[in-house]
Amino acid sequence: MDYPQEQYNEIAEQLGVHNQSQQSSLLAGQNNQMQYQMEEQEKNLAESQLDVEETLIKIDHLLRQDVIKVNDQGIREWNKISDEKKRVLTNEGVEKIMVVLQFYINKETLLSNFDDKMIARRMLDFSYSLSALIFLKYETFFSSPSLKECKEILQLRINNKVESKKLNAEIFHKEFDAVEEEKKILKELEGRLDYEIEKIKQEQTKTNLREFEMIFTQITALVESTHNRAWKGEERGSLRRHFNISEVIGGKGQMPEKKGGIFGWGRS
């Protein structure tokens, strides 16, 4: 059928408007989808940047002297120390230190606004308090051998002493009876066994205490790093800058500026 020119133009115009409307709807849908994806990425970035849980879990494992090993599936995972006797800190010691760290390594600290003097003052207070806490409660913070372990250590020392006597006898070609020699050593221990056991405990505790300086230094460094991220509000500033860039890329640069920022903070 042949349409008059005017009618043909009208139909063509209507079809053009319809196609333009469809394209606009499609473009709007794509923009909405892109905006949603960007908002999700921004949300994930903020959550991951402010999430300290993984850091705290890692610190807990390290304080317990756990080690990372690769399992049969090729996955790296934490494993308990093979010999529990070699642990420096007790469970109570680790738990007490972790409670302290959770008050300093958290989202609130990261989103704070500290200047150099504030960071230095907070770190000084933290250092003094932590060192005092550990030293005043070192008997519960640091591991000491059990009575059974003390017995094993004492028996090992007796055996070493017998072997030393045996070696001395062999060098000088003297007769030697290991059973009799052990009896002599045990007889010497009569009446002071409790003293020897306590001495072993103190020696082992002192050995663990030698680890204090390194543990203290590592913990202090972690807390200081957290505070440095909050220097002059840098952590929240970096988040805000990222969101501003995302708004420009997403075509929202012409939108009115929101008061208070995404987390209710003031303007940069």
The model's confidence at residue 88, banded by pLDDT at 50, 70 and 90, is very high
Give me the chain's average pLDDT, please: 78
pLDDT of residue 54: 85
Phi, psi of 226 (to 5 degrees): -65, -45
Helix H or strand E segment including 79: strand 76-79
Q: Does residue 243 fall inside a structural domain?
A: no
H or E, element range at 215:
helix 212-229
Specify if 5 maps to a domain.
Answer: no
- Exposed, middle or buried: residue 88 (CB in 10 Å: 0-12, 13-18, 19+)? buried
Instruction: Provide the domain limits for residue 111.
Output: 49-232
Q: Are 104 and 223 in contact (CB under 8 A)?
A: yes
More confident residue, 12 or 169: 169
Is the overall model pTM greater than 0.75, yes or no? no
The predicted-structure confidence for 72-83, as pLDDT tens digits, reads as follows 888 999 999 888
pLDDT of 4-31, one tens digit each?
Answer: 555 555 655 655 655 565 666 666 555 5
pLDDT (mean) for 59-74: 90
Residue type, 97: I
d(CA 153, CA 196): 10
Query: What would the two tokens of residue 63 be?
Result: 């304080």
Region class of 201: left (phi > 0), else alpha (psi between -120 and 50), else beta? alpha
pLDDT of residue 267: 41
Q: What is the pLDDT of residue 35?
A: 53
Please check whether residue 237 lies inside any domain of the structure. Answer: no
**In a domain? residue 42:** no
Total number of residues shown for the chain: 268
Is residue 1 in some structural domain?
Answer: no
Within-domain flag for 113: yes
Distance CA 162, CA 155 (A): 11
Which residue would you say has higher pLDDT here, 251 or 100?
100
39 domain residue, yes or no: no
**Confidence bin at 44 (pLDDT 50/70/90):** low
Q: Quick check: 70 pLDDT over 70? A: yes
CB 65 within 8 A of CB 86: yes
**Number of domains the chain contains:** 1
Q: Judge whether residue 119 has pLDDT over 90.
A: yes
Residue 18 lies in a domain: no
Element (H, E) at 2: none
pLDDT of 198-256, one tens digit each? 999 989 888 998 888 899 999 999 999 989 988 887 776 666 665 554 444 454 444 44
Query: Which of the four pLDDT bands, split at 50, 70 and 90, describes residue 264?
Result: very low
pLDDT classification of 99: cutoffs 50, 70, 90: very high
Mean pLDDT of 172-199: 88
Q: Tens digit of pLDDT for each residue in 121-166?
A: 999 999 999 999 988 998 899 998 888 889 999 999 999 999 998 8
Task: Report pLDDT for 186.
Answer: 87
- Check residue 132 and give its pLDDT: 92
Indicate if the alpha-carbon torsion angle 136, 140, 143, 144 is positive or negative.
Answer: positive
> Helix axis angle, 234-249 relative to 5-50, nearest 10°?
170
